[in-house]
C-alpha cells in the first residue's frame, strides 16, 4: 500500500503480486475481506461499505468519476444478499471509476467482479490471470444475480451451493 499526493487529491495505491490491485482516494470507503467465506460476519461490513460509498461526490477519485447512484447501491445490496445466500464473501467492495460499485472476488490468479453501474446495468467479469477474460451483462432480478454468482463460484472451482 502506497500513499500518493496530499490533501483532497491524495490516493492509496495497492499492489498484489507485483500488479496494480486498486487505486482509491485516501480515507474513502473500501472493504477487503478478512473473514473466511464460511462466516457471514462479513455481511454487515459489506453493507456498511456500500452505505459509505453513498457519500462520495463527483470527482471522488480525481478522474471526474461519478459517485455511486442510489440505483447502483440498491443493486449492490441485492448482490451482497445473493452472496450471503451462497455463503460466498467478496474480497473487495469499492466505488467504480465507471460510476457505480464494484464487488470483486480473487483466488490466487483468478479474478471476478460484478460492476453495479449507475445506469442500472450490471456487468460480470471473470479472468484466469493469463489474459482470458469473459464479460457478460447480468439482469437486475434476483434469479439473474444468483445465476451470476453461481457462475463466478464455478469460475473459482467451487461447487454450487
Q: Which residues contact 95 (CB under 8 A, 6 or more apart)?
A: 24, 28, 29, 30, 53, 56, 60, 61, 65, 67, 68, 101, 102
pLDDT tens-digit series, residues 72-129: 999 999 999 999 988 888 999 999 988 999 999 998 889 999 999 999 999 999 998 8
Confidence of residue 20 (pLDDT cuts 50, 70, 90): very low
Q: What is the largest CA-CA distance in the chain?
A: 46
Confidence of residue 2 (pLDDT cuts 50, 70, 90): very low
Q: Does residue 38 carry a pLDDT above 50?
A: no
Amino acid at each position: 500500500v502506497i500513499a500518493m499526493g496530499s490533501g483532497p487529491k491524495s490516493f492509496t495505491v495497492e499492489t498484489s503480486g507485483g500488479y496494480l490491485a486498486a487505486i482509491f482516494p485516501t480515507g474513502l470507503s473500501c472493504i477487503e475481506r478478512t473473514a473466511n467465506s464460511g462466516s457471514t460476519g462479513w455481511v454487515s461490513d459489506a453493507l456498511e461499505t456500500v452505505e459509505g460509498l453513498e457519500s462520495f461526490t463527483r470527482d471522488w477519485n480525481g478522474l471526474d468519476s461519478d459517485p455511486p447512484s442510489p440505483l447502483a447501491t440498491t443493486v449492490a445490496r441485492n448482490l451482497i444478499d445473493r452472496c450471503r445466500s451462497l455463503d460466498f464473501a467478496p474480497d473487495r467492495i469499492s466505488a467504480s471509476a465507471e460510476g457505480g460499485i464494484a464487488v470483486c472476488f480473487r483466488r490466487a490468479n483468478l479474478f471476478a467482479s460484478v460492476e453495479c453501474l449507475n445506469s442500472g446495468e450490471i456487468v460480470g467479469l471473470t479472468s484466469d490471470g493469463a489474459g482470458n477474460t469473459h464479460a457478460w451483462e447480468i439482469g437486475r432480478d434476483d434469479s439473474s444475480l444468483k445465476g451470476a454468482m453461481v457462475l463466478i463460484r464455478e469460475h473459482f472451482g467451487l461447487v454450487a451451493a
